[in-house]
Structure 1
């Protein structure tokens, strides 16, 4: 595939923005922790982090998360990073269509056929409808239309609600305008963490004809309404067959050989229905072809994959060498599919 390039202007703009917002204290703290973990000199790590950020498009947290301190230059070059991912999002996700992914209500409307669950919108005057929906479901999930990293997601039980008019007013006041039926996940996912719906992040690129799966990460929760790290969640990378490549980890230096609550050995995890998941991603990627680079959050249920959301700013999930023993990342797959 001929190179399409990412262009110098977006990169310079990104670097300038990062330079304006750099938190020196945070960088030093990351450097100290990294140096202590890998037995390196803090000044050397600081210099390497700054050089990597300025000349190799490596975010400071990328440097920490993917153990760049112990990787050689060739190994580092195989890792996808957030600055590069941001450039891909800006170039291949058309701005006129991004709102369909940013607004969760709009997303549910556009991708309704792939949700495989009931949902409704909270509006003035529909307290009775909210009550009927909630009582019928027993437990519901509410979402604020715009939120990131699991923020704005809540879970309510009908048995706990005494005043339905007050509940309705509260939803409106807090901006929790989207209500969804709770997803029932596959028993293989529930075996790891039954209290949270555990999502599979599939990062993919649609080139107009073919959907390329770039990376697959399995996220696990800790019993909260979301499996995001802000709720104590963590992830492990999956291979092309849907098998975990090693233990789980997060961006807070926590490593989980076993799930802290269930005791499940993370490296033993096998995503069920992996072939159906790949086929499902190909179908959802064609719904809004103008947004080509997406991180799809999917849950495998007993009846097959269902869609949770799509992230036009896909973010990055990568191997952590000190945990998995894998010293290469997914960037070659990105290059082969996208041609940058």
Structure 2
């Protein structure tokens, strides 16, 4: 594929916006964290963080999460970062189609064939339908149409609801307009954390003919409705065969050799049906081909993979060298697939 390059203008706008919003206190806190973790002099870390942000497109949290303080220049160059990912999203995800991925109701409508679960939309006149759906399912998940990082996602059990009219009214008032059946995950995934539906993040690029798998990460929850870090979740990177490359970690300095609740050793995790997952990503990537760069959240069930959501702002999941011992990232794969 010919090199397409990334435009300088979006990069300059992004840097200008970051400069206006920079939180000096936050930068210092991150620098102190790096200093304590890796034994580096804090002022030197601050300078390196600012230089990396301004001239190497490295987000401040990227610098912390991916242990840039202990990496060589060549090793750092292999890491995907959020500023670069943002540029790819802006370039390859057509603005006229992004709303499909931002609105969860619209997403379920467009990708209904790939959800493999029941869902419905709450409106002013369907209190009886909401009750019937919830009682039949036993437990439901509700979602606010627009949200990220797991915000706006809730779980309700029919046995705990006493006033169904009040329940329906509350959903409308809180904007929890999408109701979904709870996904039944594969036993191999439930063995790690049975109380949360644990998603696999597959970052992919569709070039118009072929879907390229850029990175795979397995997220694990702590029993809450979501496996996002805001709910105490963490992740581990997966290799091409779907095997964990090491322990789990998050952006808050927590490292999990084993799952805190079940004792499952994270490095032993093997994603089931990995070939089916890759084929599934290829299928869903073709549904809205105008949005080429997507972070797909998938759950493997006993019957195969199902779709949870797609993120047009794909975000970044990468190796953490101090945890995995792997000192290189996925950026070469992005370059090979996308040509920037």
Classify the TM-score, shorter chain. over 0.9
- Partner residue, 1:125: 125
1 CA distance for matches of 2:177 and 2:33?
41
Counterpart in the other structure of 1:136? 136
Describe the SS at the equivalent of 1:129: helix
After superposition, where does 1:214-229 map in structure 2 within 5 Å? 214-229=214-229
Q: Write the mapping of 1:112-261 to structure 2, written as runs, cut at 5 A.
A: 112-261=112-261
1:302-338 per-position Cα deviation (integer Å, ceiling 9, x unaligned): 0000000000000000000000000000000000000
Q: Which runs of 4+ in 1 moved over 3 A?
A: none
TM-score, length basis structure 1: 1.00
Describe how 1:46-61 pairs up with structure 2 within 5 A.
46-61=46-61
The secondary structure found in structure 2 opposite 1:156 is strand
CA deviation digits over 1:250-282, x for unaligned, max 9? 000000000000000000000000000000000
CA distance, structure 2, for counterparts of residue 101 and residue 126 of structure 1: 25
| 2:296 matched residue in structure 1 | 296
RMSD over aligned Cα atoms? 0.3
What's the CA shift for 1:122?
A: 0.2
* Residue equivalent to 1:35: 35
What CA deviation, in whole Å up to 9, does each residue of 1:279-309 have, x standing for no partner?
Answer: 0000000000000000000000000000000
Between the aligned partners of 2:296 and 2:31, the Cα distance in structure 1 is: 32
Alignment deviations for residues 10-51 of structure 1 (CA, whole Å, 9 cap, x no partner): 000000000000000000000001011100100000000000
CA shift for structure 1 position 243: 0.1
Structure 2: gaps of 5 or more residues = none
Distance in 2 between residues matched to 1:26 and 1:72, nearest whole Å = 24
- Length, aligned pairs only: 340
Map Cα deviations across residues 135-162 of structure 1 (whole Å, 9 max, x no partner): 0000000000000000000000000001
- Distance (whole Å) between structure 1 residues aligned to residue 312 and residue 10 of structure 2: 17
Q: Does 1:104 align with 2:104?
A: yes
Q: Distance in 2 between matches of 1:36 and 1:24?
A: 18
The reply to whether residue 264 of structure 1 matches residue 257 of structure 2 is no
Please state if 1:286 is matched with 2:281: no
Separation in 2, partners of 1:72, 1:50:
17
Q: Please state how far the C-alpha of 1:2 moved relative to its aligned partner.
A: 1.2
Equivalent residue number for residue 77 of structure 1: 77
Cα separation, 2, equivalents of 1:307 and 1:125: 29
CA distance in 2 between counterparts of 1:337 and 1:255 reads 31
SS at match of 2:284: helix
Q: CA deviation at 1:242?
A: 0.1
Report the TM-score when normalising by structure 2.
Answer: 1.00
Unaligned runs of 5+ in 1: none
Q: Structure 1 residue 175: deviation in Å? A: 0.1
- 3-state DSSP of counterpart to 1:261: coil
CA–CA distance in structure 2, aligned partners of residues 332 and 86 of structure 1? 17
The superposition leaves residues 64-89 of structure 1 with CA deviations (integer Å, 9 ceiling, x where unpaired) of 00000000000000000000000000
Once residues 8 and 303 of structure 1 are traced to their aligned partners in structure 2, the CA distance between those partners, rounded to angstroms, is 46
Secondary structure, aligned partner of 1:299: strand
